């Protein structure tokens, strides 16, 4: 419950306007938590977090849409990443991974801004792959994002 509150506070803080930032900081200091340490919005941080989750996820026998980097144009990268995040969250729920461990994924997804682009293929148009290929390709994509 406390974790949830903190996460919520972090989100409010990220979205609030400058004038409200001091209030957020005050609230965070009152909660005396290691402030937003769990909020991850960088691809690199997500990769580290996924490395910890990976052995729990590998048990899944789900087949998932998993485009490889060569399967879509560069400007669709964020939309593809969104596809990956939504599927991954589904798997995390299916495998009953705790909310605390999921937080990095959900946070990343929450912060991922995508604008609909009709030139980008829908998630369902890509081929279905097993979880191993899915995770490998997701990691590649994140690495690619991080280096550009
Ligand atoms: C997953 O799919 C890949 C590529 O299709 C295949 O090489 C690999 O053996 C599969 N892994 C499992 C665990 O089924």
Among 133, 135, 136, 137, name the best residue to mutate to test ligand 1's pocket (greatest count of ligand atoms within 8 A of Cβ): 133
Is the pTM higher than 0.75? The answer reads: no
The CATH topology of domain 43-147 is Growth Hormone; Chain: A; (1.20.1250)
| Domain ranges across the chain | 2-31, 43-147
Tens of pLDDT, residue by residue over 76-123, are 999 999 999 999 999 999 999 999 999 999 999 999 988 888 899 999
Point out the ligand 1 atom lying closest to the alpha carbon of residue 130: 1
Query: Strand pairing of 128-129 and 64-65?
Result: antiparallel
Phi-psi region of 64 (alpha: psi -120 to 50; beta: other; left: phi over 0): beta
Is 130 close to ligand 1, i.e. is its CB under 6 Å away? Answer: yes
Region 20-32: what's the mean pLDDT? Answer: 49
Q: What are phi and psi of 65, to 5 degrees?
A: -70, 120
21 Cβ neighbours under 8 A, 6+ residues apart: 13
Tens of pLDDT, residue by residue over 122-131, are 999 999 999 9
Side-chain half-sphere exposure of 6, counting CA atoms within 13 A: 17
Give nearest CA residue, ligand 1 atom 4. Answer: 133
* Under 8 Å between Cβ of 136 and 72: no
| Tokens representing residue 102 in the block | 């999921």
Cα separation, 104 vs 88, in Å, equals 12
């Amino acid at each position: 419950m406390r974790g949830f509150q903190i996460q919520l506070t972090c989100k409010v803080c990220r979205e609030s306007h400058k004038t409200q930032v001091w209030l957020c900081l005050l609230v965070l200091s009152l909660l005396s938590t290691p402030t937003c340490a769990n909020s991850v919005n960088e691809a690199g941080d997500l990769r580290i977090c996924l490395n910890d989750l990976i052995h729990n996820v590998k048990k899944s026998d789900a087949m998932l849409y998993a485009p490889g980097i060569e399967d879509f144009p560069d400007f669709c990268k964020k939309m593809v990443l969104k596809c990956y995040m939504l599927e991954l969250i589904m798997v995390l729920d299916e495998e009953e991974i705790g909310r605390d461990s999921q937080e990095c994924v959900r946070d990343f997804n929450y912060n991922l801004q995508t604008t609909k682009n009709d030139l980008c293929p829908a998630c369902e148009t890509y081929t279905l792959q097993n979880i191993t290929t899915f995770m490998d390709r997701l990691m590649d994509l994140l690495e690619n994002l991080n280096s550009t």
